[in-house]
Structure 1
Amino acid sequence: MSGDCPVSAFGKLITIYPNTVEDFVLIAKELYSKLKQYHGPYIGMSGKSSLDISL
């Protein structure tokens, strides 16, 4: 397993809607401190912008 992840395979794991900017900063700092030891997959970008893709 190479750790590569094509663009078509990624998505959201969690969505957080903080009430204030201060709550956002607090949550972001806490998540960073707890998750910084982990490495996510490399997501290879094809060079295409999302604006180049028609729906």
Structure 2
Amino acid sequence: MNYSLSELIIQYQKKTNKNDAQFAFESHFPVEKIHAIKTGKISYTPDEEKRIIRYISEHR
């Protein structure tokens, strides 16, 4: 499946039952950044996207 980063985060959180604070802490991102990515309020760098995708793929 080809998800946007926000959709990927949301799907991961549903599967693992983690809230934004837990996800942010474990993936080493500020919770405000995770909120903003999920709501589409800010853009993210290719490196940030890569780090989040890697975290999700390693912790499924």
Q: TM-score, normalised by structure 1?
A: 0.33
Highest Rg: 1 or 2? 1
More helix by share: 2
Relative to total residues, which structure has the larger strand share, 1 or 2? 1
Greater relative contact order: 1 or 2 (C-alpha under 8 angstroms, separation 6 or more)?
Answer: 1
- TM-score, normalisation: structure 2: 0.31
